[in-house]
Amino acid sequence: MKSSKHIYSWFSVFALFFFITSCNEELLNPEPQTAIEEEEVFKAYETSQAALVGVYDQLSSPEFEGLYVPIFGDLVGDDLMISPDNNYNWFVAVYQMNILPNYSASDYPWWAGYKVIFDANKIVANAQSIPDATSDQKNRLEGEAKAMRAFVMLKLVQMFAPSYISNPEAPSILLATEPLLHNDADLSRAPLSEVYAQMEADLLSAINLLEYRDDIDDKGFFDKRAAQAILARVYLNMQQWEKARDMAVEAYTDVDLVAVANLFDGFYYRNSETIFTVAYTQEDNNTYLTIPSFYYPIYGYSSMRANNKFVDLFSSNDVRSNYFLIEPEIDKDRNLILKFLHNQSVGNAERISIRASEMYLIAAECEAELGNNKEAQDALYTIQSRANPSVVKSTATGQDLVDEILVERRKELFGEGFRWNDIKRRQSRFIREGDHWVKFDFSAEDEDDYRLTYPIPQSEIDNNVELTNEDQNIGY
Partners of 279 in the beta sheet?
Answer: 350
Tell me the one-letter amino acid at 104. Answer: S
Task: Provide long-range contacts, Cβ within 8 A and 24+ apart, for 313-316.
Answer: 313/407, 313/410, 313/411, 314/411, 315/388
Partners of 351 in the beta sheet?
Answer: 278
Q: Is residue 18 part of a domain?
A: no
**Phi, psi for 209 (deg, rounded to 5):** -85, -30
Q: What region does 97 belong to: left with phi over 0, alpha with psi -120 to 50, or beta?
A: left
Instruction: Answer whether 411's CB lies under 8 Å from 307's CB.
Output: no
**Phi, psi for 337 (deg, rounded to 5):** -125, 125
Instruction: Answer whether 375's CB lies under 8 Å from 391's CB.
Output: no
Domains held by the chain: number: 1
Q: Is residue 17 part of a domain?
A: no
Q: Is residue 204 part of a domain?
A: yes
Show the domain range for 322.
Answer: 25-471
Spell out the per-residue pLDDT of the chain, length 476, in tens.
554 344 543 454 444 333 323 333 333 333 444 556 777 999 999 999 999 999 999 999 999 999 999 999 999 999 999 998 878 899 999 999 999 999 999 999 999 999 999 999 999 999 999 999 999 999 999 999 999 999 999 999 999 999 999 999 999 999 999 998 878 999 999 999 999 999 999 999 999 999 999 887 789 999 999 999 999 999 999 999 999 999 999 999 999 999 998 888 888 888 999 999 997 766 666 678 889 899 988 888 999 999 999 999 999 999 999 999 999 999 999 999 999 988 777 667 888 999 999 999 999 999 999 999 999 999 999 999 999 999 999 999 999 999 999 999 999 999 999 999 999 999 999 999 999 999 999 999 999 999 999 999 999 999 999 999 999 999 99
Say what the pLDDT of residue 34 is: 53
User: SS3 letters for the chain?
Assistant: CCCCCCCCCCCCCCCCECCCCCCCHHHHCCCCECCCCHHHHCCCHHHHHHHHHHHHHHHCCCCCCCCHHHHHHHHCCCCEEECCCCCCCCCHHHHHCCCCCCCHHHHHHHHHHHHHHHHHHHHHHHHHHCCCCCHHHHHHHHHHHHHHHHHHHHHHHHHHCCCCCCCCCCEEEECCCCCCCCCCCCCCEEEHHHHHHHHHHHHHHHHHHCCCCCCCCCCCCCCHHHHHHHHHHHHHHHCCHHHHHHHHHHHHCCCCCCCHHHHHCCCCCCCCCEEEEEEECCCCCCCCCCHHHHHCCCCCCCCEEECHHHHCCCCCCCHHHHHEEEECCCEEEEEEECCCCCCCCCCCEEEEEEEHHHHHHHHHHHHHHCCCHHHHHHHHHHHHHHHCCCCCCCCCCHHHHHHHHHHHHHHHHCCCCCHHHHHHHCCCCEECCCCCCCCCEECCCCHHHHHHCCCCCHHHHHHCCCCCHHHCCCCC
CATH of the domain at 419: 1.25.40.390
Virtual CA dihedral for 192, 194, 200, 201, nearest 10 degrees? Answer: -160
Say what the pLDDT of residue 282 is: 66
Residue of 390, 365, 369, 400 lying closest to 379 (CA atoms): 365
Residue 247 CB partners (closer than 8 Å, separation 6+)? 228, 229, 231, 232, 235
Distance CA 261, CA 275 (A): 20
CA-based radius of gyration for the chain: 22
Q: Is residue 13 part of a domain?
A: no
Strand-strand pairing, 441-442 and 349-355:
unpaired
